[in-house]
Amino acid sequence: MATAAAIVDVVLVHPDDNVCVAARDLDAGAAVTAGRTTVTLSGKVRLGHKIALTGLRKGDRVIRYGQTIGFTTTDVEPGDWIHVHNMTAGEFARDYAYASEIPPEPTPIEGRTFQGYRRADGRVGTRNYLAVISTVNCSASVSKYVAQRFDKQLLARFPNVDGILPLTHKGGCGLQYGGEDHDQLNRVLAGFAKHPNIGGYLLIGLGCETAAMPYLVEHGGLVQLGAQPRKLPPIFNLQDCGGTTKTLEAAQRQIAAMLPQVNDIRRQTIPASEIILGLNCGGSDGNSGITANPALGVASDMLVGAGGTSILTETPEIYGAEHLLTRRARTRAIGEKLIERIHWWERYTGNFGAKLDNNPSPGNKDGGLTTIYEKSLGAAAKGGTAPLSGVFLYGEPITTRGFVFMDSPGYDPASVTGLVASGANVVCFTTGRGSCYGCKPTPSIKIATNTPMYERMIDDMDIDAGRVLTGTPVEEVGREIFDFILEVASGRKTKSEQHGIGEEEFVPWSIGPTL
């Protein structure tokens, strides 16, 4: 990618591109230079939107990132604005070339540490919550009421506890017992229960739901082995306890007994290799693939170089860029597993009369993105340049260090819920339109793709990557992100945490049907 340092008005991402991207709002008649080409704008072009550098005929490929992002639907002249009015995604074959371009390992980084919580099983947390986990929507209200009984004044007596976290959702029944949807929900609930950012938990159910408590405890690995007899986690069913009031009182006593133990843990010096970083983007714009995403890719590579783990996700939002990831796969089997998930999504969306190229959203388009291919090529930049070391199902525990992929929807709450369930103890979330997202119990770092939005939403944004458009090197912003990750892992509160955001954003992905 060309550096933005010498470019004031536009950015040329790749020398083979036949479009450039506006780095600020531009007026009609302005002359802009990208690489060796100068064009005069035929109309106004807003920040993040594309400008044709050459004449194109109807049906010609539009090239950005050195890759096809779609096809023109009309003739286009140099200096024209290229967007949904004269361009479409179309279809084209992609060569997956499995494991053909395995990149070198990122530069090793030694000696970087953070202050984290070492759990009894060896895993490391960055936060210390006590969770009230609802197994079904029928027990969601009671689970919230339990948490509300412990106000800030009471919790002030336990300064090492970040809070009582109710994890409630809309599912848990009306699904196939033991089916794919049931097992996926099980992975998520168990993943949160066992998450290293959770110092203790209890489970609350109704008692007759399909997502039965015994199934979760057994198949989710929540039984503590080695005890005689096997020790169960604290379990409360409304039907067994005698209803709402009695369940509330019993759960309240249980939490009161657990709080001192959860509070006893202290932060200690931990190597950066214990960071499991979730990569996500939401409210993307035309600058996401120029500023925040590649900068986060630098931080991702640095973390992998330090021995840590970085997880790319959102399968529908790598569609059109998957051929770049399969080339980076360490083995053909890893690449094929990724493409199997792509094909699953093609079948899945087809069942509902939808297509993967229905993405981007109206907000993405308003920010300059035109097709899913363009969005995906920019989104994939979050994954840096490290080899792809594994592909995992939604909410499946991550068992491989390095750069990996987890299957998920592009819908942010569901996607990040899966990342956390898989073990992410820090999340970095890039946004161009301005997403106010949090994901308790894991801190979410917001990275703005452009400075105007960062300044407008300063109370929600943590890092301004829009400085890349005015000359700050991508690598410098990437190093800043890496340092910030370690600070947040050590306890620094993100903007979303300062607002208390992150409880309503627990959204396990349901693949249906609801029965």
Among the listed residues 294, 387, 381, the one whose alpha carbon sits nearest the alpha carbon of residue 335: 387
Q: What 8-state DSSP symbol labels residue 193?
A: H
pLDDT digits (tens, 9 = 90+) for 354-365: 888 777 889 999
pLDDT in tens, the chain (515 residues): 444 444 579 999 999 999 999 999 999 999 999 999 999 999 999 999 999 999 999 999 999 999 999 999 999 999 999 999 999 999 888 999 999 999 999 999 999 999 999 999 999 999 999 999 999 999 999 999 999 999 888 999 999 999 999 999 999 999 999 999 999 999 999 999 999 999 999 999 999 999 999 999 999 999 765 545 557 899 999 999 999 999 999 999 999 999 999 999 999 999 999 999 999 999 999 999 999 999 999 999 999 999 999 999 999 999 999 999 999 999 999 999 999 999 999 999 999 998 887 778 899 999 999 999 999 999 999 999 999 999 999 999 999 999 999 999 999 999 999 999 999 999 999 999 999 999 999 999 999 999 999 999 999 999 999 999 999 999 999 999 999 999 999 999 999 999 999 999 999 999 988 88
Q: Which candidate, 67, 59, 105, 90, places its Cα nearest to that of 322?
A: 67
| Phi–psi pair at 172, nearest 5 degrees | 105, -10
The alpha-helical segments, DSSP class H, found in 165-321 are: 180-193, 213-219, 238-241, 244-263, 292-305
Question: Phi and psi dihedrals of 453, rounded to 5?
Answer: -70, -40
Q: Distance from CA of residue 356 to its chain's centroid?
A: 18
Q: How far apart are CA 352 and CA 396, in angstroms?
A: 25
* Stated pTM of the model: 0.95
- Sign for the CA dihedral angle at 474, 477, 481, 483 comes to positive
C-alpha to C-alpha distance for 116 and 135, rounded to whole angstroms: 29
Which residue reads 């050590």 in tokens? 490
Class of the CATH-defined domain 129-263: alpha beta
pLDDT tens profile 464-475: 999 999 999 999
Supply the angle between the helices 412-421 and 180-193 in degrees, to the nearest 10.
60
Torsion angle, alpha carbons of 117, 121, 123, 124, to 10: 0
Calpha distance 434→270 (Å, rounded): 32
pLDDT tens per residue across span 229-283: 557 899 999 999 999 999 999 999 999 999 999 999 999 999 999 999 999 999 9
464 forms beta bridges with 448
Residues 19 and 286: beta-carbon distance below 8 Å = no
DSSP secondary structure, 85-150, as one string:
TSEE---------TTSSPPPPPPP--S-EEEEEE-TTS-EES--EEEEEESSGGGHHHHHHHHHTS
Cα–chain-centroid distance for residue 103? 23
- Do the Cβ atoms of 295 and 468 come closer than 8 Å? yes
Can you give the residue ranges of every domain in the chain? 10-88, 129-263, 269-499
Max Cα separation, the chain? 80
Please compute Rg for the chain using Cα positions.
24
Convert the pLDDT of each residue in 62-96 to its tens digit: 999 999 999 999 999 999 999 999 999 998 889 99
Q: Sign of the CA dihedral 117, 119, 123, 127?
A: negative
CATH architecture of 10-88: Roll (2.30)
Which of 193, 204, 280 has the alpha carbon at shortest distance from 235?
204
d(CA 189, CA 211): 11
21/452 Cα distance (integer angstroms): 16
Burial 210-230 (b: 16+ CB within 10 A, else e): bbbbebbbeebebeeeeeeee
Half-sphere exposure of 52 (CA within 13 A, CB side): 23
- Among 423, 379, 383, smallest CA distance to 400 is for 423
Nearest Cα neighbor of 477 from 11, 66, 4, 15 is 4
Q: Which residue has the tokens 């002249």?
A: 77
Count of beta carbons in the 10 Å neighbourhood of residue 140: 20
